[in-house]
């Protein structure tokens, strides 16, 4: 029963829910279970919104689901480490373990996706648009929860928490853009030398 209270508080009052989760007996297992259930709900929603045959359903809910969990756990570890590293620039104290736990719990809004998919399918035409709209709202909700968790763990102001959150994405974009420009320049040089 205590777990359901934590889940409802994360949805209704994230600050209190996050604090209770960190005081919970086994918060890491709770976080892993939240990730597993949330990713399962996301897979089920995809199956509900698209018409898949039974063979595809079986493969998506076994091999595809396990691959999704493994890939997400690797991404989860890397992103948590990166956010911890960037937050440490602000000379704040915070636990990477607590951030890891809270980042897993931030996926909780994905549990609403199957209901959104069923509602969208029931409406018929335009169902994909409605599903994508609600999916975007859920992603924004998850991003807000992740910024809240950075704010809570590292005692940052909202602006600093947002900057810690977006720095990796902006850096990745610029690295990819620079790599693309270098690739184009080198390709033009190599093509020019061949003539």
Q: How many CB atoms lie within 10 A of CB 162?
A: 16
Asked if 139 and 123 count as a contact pair (C-beta separation under 8 A), the reply is no
Cα–Cα distance, 86 to 120 (Å, whole number): 40
Q: What residues contact 92, with CB distance under 8 A and at least 6 apart? A: 154, 155, 156
Tens digits of residue pLDDT in 108-146: 999 999 998 888 887 776 677 888 899 999 999 999 999
Give start and end residues of each alpha helix (H) in the chain: 2-12, 14-23, 27-49, 54-59, 65-88, 96-105, 113-123, 127-154, 158-194
For all residues of the chain together, what is the average pLDDT?
Answer: 85
pLDDT interval class at 21 (50, 70, 90): confident
Q: pLDDT at position 31, please?
A: 87
Q: How confident is the model at residue 180 (pLDDT cuts 50, 70, 90)?
A: very high
Rounded Cα–Cα distance for residues 59 and 57 (Å): 6
Summarised one tens digit per residue, pLDDT across range 22-75 is: 887 788 888 888 899 998 888 888 887 776 655 566 666 677 778 888 898 999
Write down the pLDDT at residue 25.
79
What's the pTM value of the predicted model, to 2 decimals? Answer: 0.81
Q: What is the pLDDT of residues 22-36, one digit of tens each?
A: 887 788 888 888 899
Contact 92, 152 (CB under 8 A): no
pLDDT in tens, 137-155: 999 999 999 999 999 999 9
Give the pLDDT confidence score for residue 109 in this predicted structure: 94
């Amino acid at each position: 029963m205590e777990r359901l209270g934590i889940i409802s508080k994360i949805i209704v009052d994230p600050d209190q829910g996050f604090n209770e989760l960190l005081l919970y007996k086994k918060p890491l297992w709770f976080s892993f279970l939240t990730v597993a259930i949330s990713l399962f709900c996301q897979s089920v929603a995809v199956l509900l919104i698209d018409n898949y045959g039974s063979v595809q359903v079986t493969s998506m809910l076994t091999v595809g689901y396990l691959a999704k969990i493994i890939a997400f756990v690797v991404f989860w570890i890397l992103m948590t480490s990166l956010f911890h590293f960037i937050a440490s620039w602000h000379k704040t104290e915070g636990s990477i373990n607590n951030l890891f736990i809270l980042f897993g719990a931030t996926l909780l809004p994905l549990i609403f996706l199957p209901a959104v998919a069923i509602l969208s399918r029931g409406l018929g035409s335009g169902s994909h648009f409605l599903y994508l709209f609600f999916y975007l709202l859920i992603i924004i909700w998850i991003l807000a929860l992740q910024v809240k968790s950075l704010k809570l763990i590292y005692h940052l102001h909202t602006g600093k928490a947002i900057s810690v959150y977006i720095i990796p994405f902006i850096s990745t974009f610029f690295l990819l853009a620079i790599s693309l420009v270098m690739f184009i320049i080198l390709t033009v040089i190599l093509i020019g030398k061949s003539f």
